[in-house]
Structure 1
Amino acid sequence: PIPAGIDPKAINAAAGDKAKTVQALKDSFVHFRGAILSIKDSDLNNGIKFFGADTTIRGAFIKITGHFGEHLGQSIAYSRMNGIIP
């Protein structure tokens, strides 16, 4: 479920406000970690729909953590375009 206080349709409102953006990022990692820790090991192979595709809970978590790398790559490219070497 979407964390309390998050409106997905208004999430871009934080764009341009560094403090809000950083806080939203930190909050998202806290939420994801909590979601992972709340799942019993015995439930990880349960089937679910994830963005319309059949997978398992374990598979969804693997896809999410792999997706982090996509955002890291984007942030590195953006930083370098702005003269910041990460």
Structure 2
Amino acid sequence: MKIIYTSLLLAFVTFLCSSKAQAQQKDSLLSQLSVKWQNATGYALKMAELMPEEYYDFKPVPEQMSFKEQMVHIAQNIQWLSNSYLMNGGTVPKLDAENLDKAGVIQVLKDAYASGLKAHQQLQASELDDIVKFFAGPKTKRQILILLHDHQSHHLGQVIVYLRLKGIKPPPYIGW
């Protein structure tokens, strides 16, 4: 009887630990950031679509990037961080904002955000503390991942101002 009780207790504890591990895996930082990234993708694309093509070269002041340059800069940075630091060795396409129309800008944004999502999905939790050589000094992949989110948010904030200056209401914010 004692053996049966001990076996049942051991099986129950194993089940609880397994369920907790599965729940943590499904609700990990990487899975949460992947969902956030997909929402950021939709948010960025809505802004790119809202701005009429005639205003893609608009600059609030001469020393600022144009709307188009902002969007291409976001795409280029996503490709660079994702492919060079998070996925180790992917190609970073050279993007030239001057030769892109609105449809081309939207496509490079789609491609870049897809690369960013791929980086989120391929990155393992065990790799987050891996060190990479970065221009600002050694950084962990966790820091690069945070930078990836922060940088695109920073520039999308500027893009919101561009839309407002042209009398266009930006889409509602999607955070999570």
The question of a shared fold, defined as TM-score above 0.5 by the shorter chain, is answered with: yes
RMSD (Å) for aligned C-alpha atoms: 1.9
Aligned mates of 1:58, 1:50 — CA distance in 2:
13
How far off is 1:26 after superposition?
1.0
Kindly indicate whether residue 132 of structure 2 is the aligned counterpart of residue 45 of structure 1: no
- Alignment-mate amino acid for residue 128 of structure 2: L
Larger RCO of the pair (alpha carbons < 8 Å, separation 6+) = 2
Kindly indicate whether residue 125 of structure 2 is the aligned counterpart of residue 20 of structure 1: no
How far off is 1:22 after superposition?
0.7
TM-score normalised over the length of structure 1: 0.81
Which residue, 6, 11, 23 being the options, matches 2:96? Answer: 11
Which of the pair is proportionally richer in helix? Answer: 2
How far off is 1:41 after superposition?
1.2
Which of the pair is proportionally richer in strand? Answer: 1
Kindly indicate whether residue 165 of structure 2 is the aligned counterpart of residue 76 of structure 1: no
Aligned mates of 1:37, 1:61 — CA distance in 2:
12
Kindly indicate whether residue 149 of structure 2 is the aligned counterpart of residue 65 of structure 1: yes
**Structure 1 residues 5 and 58: CA distance shift in structure 2, 3 A:** closer
How far off is 1:5 after superposition?
8.1
The count of residues paired between Structure 1 and Structure 2 equals 82
Aligned mates of 1:5, 1:66 — CA distance in 2:
20
TM-score normalised over the length of structure 2: 0.43
- After TM superposition, what 4+ stretches of structure 1 lie above 4 angstroms from structure 2? 2-5
Q: How many percent identity over aligned positions?
A: 33
Which residue, 138, 152, 161 being the options, matches 1:54? Answer: 138
| 5+ residue gaps, structure 2 | 1-82, 85-89, 171-176
